[in-house]
Structure 1
């Protein structure tokens, strides 16, 4: 399962992408509960739809585009809470811990050697 989080916007309007490839059975079993905990059907699927939901003038806020397998979600920064925050933070941490590795071992990245 490929999980990716793209964060766009902010003051500098830079885009950052964090990706995890959970390919082994062990990695999939660690990531699946995190992905399943998110309410995918309750949020917009596109960045434009997420941006339209933002109340008031908030030009420098981030928008997150999240993909996990066939699932898609787009959330304004202030909506990345609860299980979404866990998924975003875990993906970011695992991606930053081992950027060259194709199969991150779990939500917190690989175990120290």
Structure 2
């Protein structure tokens, strides 16, 4: 299972993406429990907040987009854990106007 966290926004509008392969983690059972407890269907629509971060969290078949202020509880725990376990991939949107698509991942995705 792969967990991909992409952060966009801020003053420069850069993308930063972290990618963790859960099955390669020594505490993978803890990862699975955390991912199962996430309220995938509950995040509210992300209101526009200029110069603030937006997080896109993907774990096939799930995906959630949260504003920086929505990143609390188990969402914050997951993002912190992913950021601790992987090196960030940095990028800028391809045409400067598309801030909704992160750089593509280096490895193919696997489902949850």
- TM-score of the aligned structures, taking structure 1 as reference length: 0.69
1:43 aligned residue: 43
State the secondary structure of the residue aligned to 1:59.
coil
Q: Following the alignment from structure 1 to structure 2, what is the Cα–Cα distance between the partners of residues 67 and 18?
A: 11
Residues 41 and 10 of structure 1, relative CA distance in 2, 3 Å threshold:
same
RCO higher in structure (CA 8 A, sep ≥6): 2
Give the drift of 1:33. Answer: 1.1
Unaligned ranges ≥5, structure 1: 97-101, 103-113
Give the C-alpha shift of residue 84 in structure 1.
Answer: 0.4
- Determine if the alignment matches structure 1 residue 88 to structure 2 residue 79: yes
Q: Which runs of 5+ in 2 are unaligned?
A: 88-106, 108-112
Instruction: Say whether residues 1:32 and 2:55 are aligned partners.
Output: no
Q: Tell which structure's C-alpha radius of gyration is larger.
A: 1
How large is the Cα RMSD of the aligned pairs?
Answer: 2.3
Moved over 4 A (4+): 24-27
Secondary structure in structure 2 of the residue aligned to 1:34: helix
Length, aligned pairs only = 89
Mapping 1:1-113, distance limit 5 Å = 1-24=1-24, 27-43=27-43, 49-50=45-46, 53-54=47-48, 58-96=49-87
Distance in structure 1 (CA, Å) of the matches to 2:7 and 2:25? 28
* TM-score using structure 2 length: 0.70
Structure with greater proportional helix content: 1
2-side partners of 1:12 and 1:82: how far apart? Answer: 27
